């Protein structure tokens, strides 16, 4: 049977399973690849499962946008932590992770052939989602410090542009965008009748006294700002698949159409556990982020040995460094050799759109200090051997 797979043929293959297969083929490899945290959800959150089980109704479909108790605690969190003054012109939608929130938003605001402006290095699932929606990602290179180039973004806007995407704190670079830069992007979107899609999955992960800014706090932003959040990182919630969107009210019906078609409703048992996690609150995350900060310091100390051929731009957020390696080696080839010869896994920069030069994304959130020290030691040794 000769089927036309042209839509999916233009979408890159997810890199995490590819690297995962290499890791499985080389037992003992320490992964500095996948962006997860070393801890799980607050144990007390699982007490909510008994409440879920107490009602047979919970085994049936629930509201498309999420159960009311979870929507209420999210609203409180957005107001108290993100300092967003919620109004009737905004709606909260619970999703199966923020990746789903991004796809919901893209499908709701575009028609085939429309353009979405993203920043390079980009989060690969964003680029993939835009192509799957038969839209065109317009990729704007960030500066040498992985910060936004506002003039380049302005110049890229056409009559087909529907949104500008920002990720802060950033995956894959760890960059945190300034409030001034984010407000300028948000203002451009308001003035040009575009949407500002703000991915804030790493909102809690900032260092060096840098603070996260939610664009939905800016004046007059309600009508054009789509904010994406996730429990996956901060609450160690990756496999439970719960995130949420804050959207303009006029997008509620189209987003409900998308979510009802793909999912019907977010997994109800996961929503109950998410409710329990959010009741515990930010302090739970903060205690674990202190450990991640220790690991970050270990990584920075070890990576300083590579200054002759490795550039590490400032990374004040998330739990990534995007290393620029001065070598003629292809980044995928280098990543493969690091696994095969030195038992350490990283992600090649090509998957984030970095096709010129050799870049490696190093993740440090998944490891406790002892294992982290061993992993970064292997990486430094491997790079010294393979590059010099």
Cα–Cα–Cα angle for 238, 244, 248, nearest 5°?
Answer: 160
Top-level class of domain 43-281: alpha beta
Would you kindly state where each structural domain of the chain is located, as residue ranges?
6-41+283-387, 43-281
- Give SS3 for 311: strand
pLDDT in tens, the chain (388 residues): 555 667 788 888 888 888 989 999 999 999 999 899 999 999 999 999 999 999 999 999 999 999 999 999 999 999 999 999 999 999 999 999 999 999 999 999 999 999 999 999 999 999 999 999 999 999 999 999 999 999 999 999 999 999 999 999 999 999 999 999 999 999 999 999 999 999 999 999 999 999 999 999 999 999 999 999 999 999 999 999 999 999 999 999 999 999 999 999 999 999 999 999 999 999 999 999 999 999 999 999 999 999 999 999 989 999 999 999 999 999 999 999 999 999 999 999 999 999 899 999 999 999 999 999 999 999 999 999 999 7
Residue 215 CB partners (closer than 8 Å, separation 6+): 166, 182, 183, 185, 186, 196, 198, 221, 225, 227
CATH fold, domain 6-41+283-387, is: 3.90.1150
Q: Judge whether 236 and 41 are in contact, CB under 8 Å.
A: yes
């Amino acid at each position: 049977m000769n089927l036309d797979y042209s839509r999916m043929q233009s979408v890159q293959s997810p890199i995490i399973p590819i690297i995962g297969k290499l890791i499985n083929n080389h037992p003992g490899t320490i992964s500095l690849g996948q962006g997860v945290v070393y801890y799980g959800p607050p144990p007390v959150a699982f007490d909510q499962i008994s409440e879920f089980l107490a009602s047979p109704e919970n085994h049936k479909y629930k509201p498309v946008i999420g159960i009311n108790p979870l929507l209420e605690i999210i609203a409180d969190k957005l107001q108290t932590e993100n300092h967003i003054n919620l109004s009737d012109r905004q709606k909260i939608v619970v999703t199966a992770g923020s990746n789903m929130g991004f796809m919901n938003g893209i499908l709701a605001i575009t028609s085939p052939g429309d353009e979405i402006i993203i920043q390079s290095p980009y989060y690969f699932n964003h680029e993939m989602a835009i192509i799957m929606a038969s839209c065109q990602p317009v990729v704007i290179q960030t500066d040498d410090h992985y910060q936004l180039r506002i003039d380049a973004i302005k110049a890229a806007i056409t009559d087909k542009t529907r949104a500008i995407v920002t990720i802060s704190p950033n995956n894959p670079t760890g960059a945190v965008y300034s409030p001034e830069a984010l407000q300028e992007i948000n203002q451009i979107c308001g003035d040009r009748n575009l949407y500002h899609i703000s991915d804030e999955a790493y909102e809690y992960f900032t260092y060096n006294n840098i603070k996260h800014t939610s664009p939905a706090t800016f004046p007059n932003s309600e009508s054009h700002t789509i904010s994406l959040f996730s429990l996956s990182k901060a609450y160690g919630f990756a496999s439970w698949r719960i995130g949420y969107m804050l959207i303009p009210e006029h997008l509620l019906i189209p987003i409900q159409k998308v979510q009802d078609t793909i999912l019907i409703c977010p997994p109800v048992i996961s929503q109950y556990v998410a409710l329990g996690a959010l009741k515990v609150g930010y302090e739970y995350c903060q205690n674990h982020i202190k450990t991640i900060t220790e690991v970050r310091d270990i990584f920075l100390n070890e990576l300083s040995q590579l200054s002759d051929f490795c550039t590490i731009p400032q990374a004040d957020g998330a739990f990534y460094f995007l290393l620029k390696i001065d070598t003629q080696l292809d980044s995928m080839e280098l990543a493969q050799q690091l696994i095969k010869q030195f038992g350490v896994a990283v992600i090649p920069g090509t998957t984030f759109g970095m096709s010129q030069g050799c870049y490696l994304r190093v993740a440090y959130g998944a490891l406790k200090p002892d294992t982290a020290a061993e992993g970064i030691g292997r990486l430094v040794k491997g790079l010294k051997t393979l590059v010099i």
